[in-house]
């Protein structure tokens, strides 16, 4: 049988007694990585941080501009809404005035209709009384006028004309 060496729970023991060498190798890998990133940024000329700052500023400028436009549009809408409210109030006032005038005209019309009805009844009453008076007194009817046989005297002027014609 083959005996296996017991495994130790400590990982440092497993790699052996070289923890300093392992730490040095890790440090070298980190330094090489940072150096390569720095060289790459310098060579390409682009720094993501500056691009992010520029993009952030552009977004802020756009947001500010959009907010100013919204404020202007809101003010315009408020002004338009106030004008609409004012116009609506004017229309309501005019409608109220027209209603009052219509009510007054209707009252006048009703009053005049009543007066016309009263006058119609009075005229009808007069016609009936006149008709009954004529029916009861037929002899009192006026005779037709006769013209007198004698002509009216002519005016002086027409008489003078006739005389002048006769002389000539």
Q: Residue 41's CB: how many other CB atoms inside 10 A?
A: 13
Question: Largest Cα–Cα distance of the chain, in whole Å?
Answer: 194
pLDDT digit string, tens, across residues 110-153: 999 999 999 999 999 999 999 888 888 765 555 556 555 455 55
User: How many whole angstroms separate alpha carbon 88 and alpha carbon 61?
Assistant: 40
Q: What average pLDDT score do residues 147-164 get?
A: 58
Residues sharing a CB contact under 8 Å with residue 12, sequence separation 6 or more, in sequence order:
19
pLDDT digit string, tens, across residues 76-111: 999 999 999 999 999 999 999 999 999 999 999 999
| Stronger pLDDT, 127 or 5, i.e. the higher one | 127
pTM more than 0.85:
no
Residues sharing a CB contact under 8 Å with residue 7, sequence separation 6 or more, in sequence order:
14
Six token digits for residue 42: 């310098």
- Residue 8: pLDDT above 60? no
Residue 22: pLDDT band (50, 70, 90) is: confident
Helices (H) and strands (E) in the chain, counts: 4, 0
């Amino acid at each position: 049988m083959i005996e296996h060496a017991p495994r130790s729970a400590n990982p440092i023991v497993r790699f052996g007694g070289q923890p300093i060498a392992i730490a040095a190798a890790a440090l070298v890998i980190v330094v090489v990585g940072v150096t390569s990133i720095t060289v790459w940024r310098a060579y390409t000329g682009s720094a993501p941080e500056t691009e992010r700052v520029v993009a952030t500023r552009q977004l802020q400028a756009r947001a500010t501009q959009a907010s100013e436009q919204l404020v202007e549009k809101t003010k315009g809408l408020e002004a338009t809404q106030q004008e609409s409210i004012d116009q609506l109030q004017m229309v309501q006032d005019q409608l109220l005035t027209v209603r009052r005038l219509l009510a007054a005209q209707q009252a006048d019309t009703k009053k005049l209709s009543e007066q016309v009805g009263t006058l119609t009844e009075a005229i009808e009453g007069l016609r009936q009384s006149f008709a009954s008076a004529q029916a009861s007194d037929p002899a009192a009817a006026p005779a037709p006028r006769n013209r007198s046989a004698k002509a009216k005297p002519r005016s002086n002027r027409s008489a003078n004309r006739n005389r002048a014609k006769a002389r000539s």
